[in-house]
């Protein structure tokens, strides 16, 4: 087995590696470090968690050990898709360069421009940045990229997913043509292939695993779930998640729970807290300080469950993550590889579980096609428990139907025959309309009708009697 001492690294770098507790490189490190030290372009394809970061940090430190940076002109540039991944690269640089006098600057969003400008003005050997913040500094005239000797693009496929490819192409055009380029990606989409053909010169290609494969040390499973009703599906899905966590018991020391949407990240996190689980959310809309505190708590073990969007699928280096739960099936099959790659790192065993509702079955099929294997189905843990009794709907056949009644009581039908008889017995001219003078004074036969109805006062009736007598 190859050892780091055989890779022609700087002795001071080897000392830092030894102090970090490493002796042998991973396959991607063993393949990438020698050509990088020779000044060749490198195209590295490897799944997440295989040690790609050290694969470019170690040769960079060795190559940059000699020389000095000038103000506003960094000697090397590392581009990362997310703040967390950029911060992780900066930590790796600090670990392996502690015996070498090199300076660095971290340019990410959520941090003051002023502090970053001060570092750039002093001159830095290594500039670690996200594309957007790097271009912000460049457009403000605070940064020149003409002195870049080594350029690294990390997690290039994630750059593609996040829409950074136009920014990457522009940054490439701002750097010298003679630069050395180290390009790393977990998958090789056609767009990524086009960029490598355009900006890399005869690169050494290192592919340590089949594209978009998952680690053999990761146990995978999926629960096929269908809600009882559409409006109850989300709540019942959270019940399934809690049941899966409880079923693992003490084996689940910590876990990352992935959701597709930021709103679901917040909802699932609050739900877990409500039921007594130690959980916190992390996604792109949170302040950088809050994201940093949450990640630090998860790393040091004070936080057990991290509910995350795909912003944490890359660059979160916590070697001892025991479980990954996919609350949602990812919309892009490649994201599944990166999500579950958060567990089973550094040769450890890992466990992943996913909840799939009927509308996500197409995405599940895409994932299985990508990883070239069927993900084992897992029984719904709630089915083994007795379901909660719900009131049954009352069957109409079991209850005698009462006589249907109108809401407004019907008035009794008047006895028409006697009334008609009384009308015939009296002369027609004895009746007048009693509708305050507004009713018609003609009956259906055209005869004049007078009278005021049954409520005719007696004193008025006297006048009719007198007239009749006369």
Q: Could you tell me if residue 411 is inside a domain? A: no
Kindly report the CATH number assigned to the domain that includes residue 177: 3.40.50.300
Neighbours of 344 (CB within 10 A): 23
SS3 of residue 280 by DSSP: strand
pLDDT reading at 432 higher than 50: no
Q: How far apart are CA 392 and CA 31, in angstroms?
A: 65
Residue 191's H or E segment, with its range, is helix 190-199
Overall pTM surpassing 0.85 (yes/no): no
Of the chain, the percentage scoring pLDDT greater than 90 comes to 50
Q: Could you tell me if residue 249 is inside a domain? A: yes
Q: Could you tell me if residue 413 is inside a domain? A: no
Same domain, 227 and 196: no
Q: How confident is the model at residue 465 (pLDDT cuts 50, 70, 90)?
A: low
pLDDT reading at 64 higher than 90: yes
Same domain, 203 and 222: no
The residues, ordered by sequence, that sit 6+ positions from 127 with a Cβ below 8 Å of its Cβ are 74, 76, 77, 78, 104, 105, 107, 120, 134
pLDDT one-digit tens code per residue, 33-47: 999 999 999 999 887
* Total tally of structural domains belonging to the chain: 3
Q: How far apart are CA 420 and CA 426, in angstroms?
A: 10
Asked which of 207, 242, 276 is the last residue of a domain, the reply is: 207
pLDDT one-digit tens code per residue, 443-463: 445 555 555 555 556 666 565
Q: How far apart are CA 462 and CA 455, in angstroms?
A: 14
Q: How far apart are CA 126 and CA 57, in angstroms?
A: 10
Q: Could you tell me if residue 404 is inside a domain? A: no
Q: How confident is the model at residue 210 (pLDDT cuts 50, 70, 90)?
A: low
Same domain, 225 and 320: yes
Residue-number span of the structural domain to which 173 is assigned: 4-207
Contact, 295 vs 322, CB < 8 A? no
pLDDT reading at 398 higher than 60: no
Which alpha helices (DSSP H) does 97-181 contain, by range? 113-122, 131-139, 156-161, 165-174
Structural tokens at position 324: 């990954």
Neighbours of 218 (CB within 10 A): 19
């Amino acid at each position: 087995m190859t050892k780091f001492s055989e890779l022609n690294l700087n002795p001071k770098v080897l000392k830092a590696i030894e102090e970090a507790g490493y002796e042998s490189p991973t396959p991607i490190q063993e393949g990438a470090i020698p050509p990088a030290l020779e000044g060749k372009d490198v195209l590295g394809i490897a799944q997440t968690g295989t040690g790609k970061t050290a694969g470019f940090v170690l040769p960079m430190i060795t190559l940059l050990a000699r020389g000095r940076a000038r103000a506003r002109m960094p000697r090397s540039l590392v581009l990362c898709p997310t703040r967390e991944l950029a911060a992780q690269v900066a930590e790796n640089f600090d670990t392996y360069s502690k015996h070498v006098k090199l300076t660095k600057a971290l340019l990410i969003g959520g941090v003051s421009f002023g502090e970053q400008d001060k570092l750039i003005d002093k001159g830095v050997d290594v500039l670690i940045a996200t594309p957007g913040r790097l271009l912000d500094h460049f457009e403000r005239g605070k940064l020149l990229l003409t002195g870049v000797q080594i350029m690294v693009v990390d997690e290039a496929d994630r750059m593609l997913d996040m829409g950074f490819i136009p920014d990457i192409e522009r940054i490439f055009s701002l750097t010298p043509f003679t630069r050395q380029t180290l390009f790393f990606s977990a998958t090789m989409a056609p767009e990524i292939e086009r960029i490598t053909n355009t900006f890399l010169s005869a690169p050494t290609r290192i592919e340590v695993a089949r594209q978009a494969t998952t680690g053999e040390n990761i146990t995978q499973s999926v629960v096929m779930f269908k809600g009882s009703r559409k409006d109850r599906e989300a709540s019942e899905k959270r019940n399934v998640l809690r049941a899966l966590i409880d079923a693992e018991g003490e084996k689940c020391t910590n876990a990352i729970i992935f959701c597709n949407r930021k709103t679901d990240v917040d909802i699932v996190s609050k739900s877990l807290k409500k039921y007594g689980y130690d959980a916190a959310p992390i996604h792109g809309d949170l302040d950088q300080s809050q994201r940093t505190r949450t990640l630090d708590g998860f790393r040091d073990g004070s936080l057990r469950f991290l509910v995350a969007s795909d912003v944490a699928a890359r660059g979160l280096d916590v070697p001892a993550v025991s479980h990954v739960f996919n609350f949602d099936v990812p919309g892009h099959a490649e994201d599944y590889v990166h999500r579950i790659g958060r567990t089973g790192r550094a040769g450890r065993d890992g466990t992943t579980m996913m909840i799939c509702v009927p509308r996500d079955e197409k995405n599940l099929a895409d994932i299985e096609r990508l990883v070239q294997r069927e993900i084992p189905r897992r029984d719904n843990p709630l089915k083994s428990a007795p379901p909660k009794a719900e009131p049954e709907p009352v069957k109409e056949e079991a209850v005698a139907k009462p006589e249907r009644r109108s809401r407004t009581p019907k008035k009794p039908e008047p006895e028409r025959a006697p009334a008609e008889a009384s009308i015939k017995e009296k002369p027609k001219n004895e009746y007048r309309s009693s509708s305050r003078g507004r009713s018609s004074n003609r009956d259906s036969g055209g005869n004049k009708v007078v009278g005021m109805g049954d409520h005719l006062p007696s004193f008025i009736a006297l006048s009719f009697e007198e007239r009749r007598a006369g």
